[in-house]
Amino acid sequence: MNADIGVVGMAVMGQNLALNMERKGFVVAVYNRTRKRTEDLVAGRGKGRRFIPCYDLEAFVSSLARPRKVLLMVKAGQATDAVLKELFPLLEPGDVVMDGGNSHFLDTERRLAEAERRGLLYLGVGISGGEHGALHGPAIMPGGHREGYAIVEDILAKTAAQGPQGSCCAFLGPGSAGHYVKMVHNGIEYAIMQALAECYDLMKRGLSMAPREMADVFATWNGGELSGYLLEITERILRHVDPDTGRPLVELIRDTAQQKGTGKWSTQAALDEGTCAPTIAAAVFARTVSALKEERRAAAGVLPGPSPEIREERGGVLEELFGALYLTIVAAYAQGFRQLGDASRERGYDLSLAEVARVWMDGCIIRSRLLVPMRTAFMENPDLPLLFLALPFASRWREHHGALRATVMRAHRVGIPVPAMGSALDFLDAYRTERLPANLIQAHRDFFGAHTYERVDRPGVFHTDWESAP
């Protein structure tokens, strides 16, 4: 019996994807550098399933039907390079290698070039959905060699989540398109999580609400057009009681958010592309500040501020908070899609943003009801520069921008930081401003660096000798 596909890496994500594929009717070869993980899988969760356990890479490759199809689920970076260094020489031209880790897109470009030199087909495959999604159906974002995708399409499409508009899997483009889209997905994820944390902070410190009361609010919000996975789990987290203490578990978790780097990469790439993603960047920096726990503890006794208590009617504050959250979440998506469009033009990905929205509709961390009208907007105008220019988002801006302004001002007045909401408001106010004060900045640059400037009243490029001017 030959395997339809092989999975390298038997940590939880790799195991769950292998189990998912086997459940969909495929024979799966499984291999892990540490033998015990493979043994534990086939003796435990994989017992009786159509797995071919392998304990060295040569046997693993030999077990695969041609053309061989290999999915790597190992740690991004050096670990992936180490596996590929051993794996590539064992394969034959026409075999397909898929990297399902959170690899940096430039690493994917380098590895794809090496695969091409060997006649292999290579895919950088973004996979989102966590452990649950891997087992029951993630969102899958492949990019690379289109002919390689044609060979594995049936397996990936059946493994993926089945969303409201089809399988949450699609070939996204050449090169590193798949991993680039996954990276931006994670950047959007950072921004939405930060916005939800700001709502939590305003409810907790500003309105003195108990976690169960907050959970009720998030449950209500999740029942409408903001419905999505991150709102759903926010409610569930707030309702969870620690069995050891009887207290809400969220209140016992240290307030230092960690990161694996994809949000940072997304921000770095946005800067390199010259695209606007300030809300995603603000979320990354918010995590960086959270890591300064001891410094923050010391600063709390040195830098005084106002009382965080919000002395207003709770219902009105929460109503405006919903509007602020709505616009901030849409701003995160809008900036992410804008970055994808800019990167597609720069890197030749030829991305369909409507298809990206469809793939994200289920299985992934940022799945949301909002993605349905987002896809419609990009289907109607594939070159749409920003989601807020299309319905229903333009009308939602008119409806909610007063609430966003009130929420940001309220938070600042009581000393509660809202970097995601504040950056979203600043971005949208800048975007809708016909004339920004950047003319003064350009004059500064010309004054001290002779960087020149353009004028509004005549064409051409100009420089002024500012020092000698009267």
Residues 141 and 127: beta-carbon distance below 8 Å: yes
CA 399 – CA 404 distance, rounded (Å): 10
- Catalytic residue, from 22, 69, 189, 264: name it: 189
CA 170 – CA 363 distance, rounded (Å): 13
Residues 328 and 400: beta-carbon distance below 8 Å: no
Which residues, 6+ apart, have CB-to-CB distance to 279 below 8 Å? 191, 328, 331, 332, 335, 420, 423, 424, 427
Q: Residue 395: how many CA atoms within 13 Å on its side-chain side? A: 3
Which structure tokens are listed for 53? 């356990």
Residues 122 and 115: beta-carbon distance below 8 Å: yes
Which structure tokens are listed for 158? 């059946």
Q: Is 22 a catalytic residue?
A: no
Closest CA to 262 of 103, 121, 123: 103
C-alpha distances in angstroms, 73 versus 98, 152, 258? 9, 16, 22
CA 190 – CA 183 distance, rounded (Å): 11
Which residues, 6+ apart, have CB-to-CB distance to 232 below 8 Å? 222
C-alpha distances in angstroms, 22 versus 2, 52, 155, 202, 239? 13, 11, 10, 46, 35
CA 392 – CA 378 distance, rounded (Å): 12
User: Residue ranges of the alpha helices (H) in 381-418?
Assistant: 393-414
178: number of Cβ within 10 Å: 31
CA 465 – CA 468 distance, rounded (Å): 6
Q: Are strands 69-72 and 5-8 parallel, antiparallel or unpaired?
A: parallel
CA 60 – CA 25 distance, rounded (Å): 19
Phi-psi region of 120 (alpha: psi -120 to 50; beta: other; left: phi over 0): beta
- Catalytic residue, from 182, 235, 273, 320: name it: 182
Q: Is 189 a catalytic residue?
A: yes
Q: Which residues are catalytic?
A: 182, 189
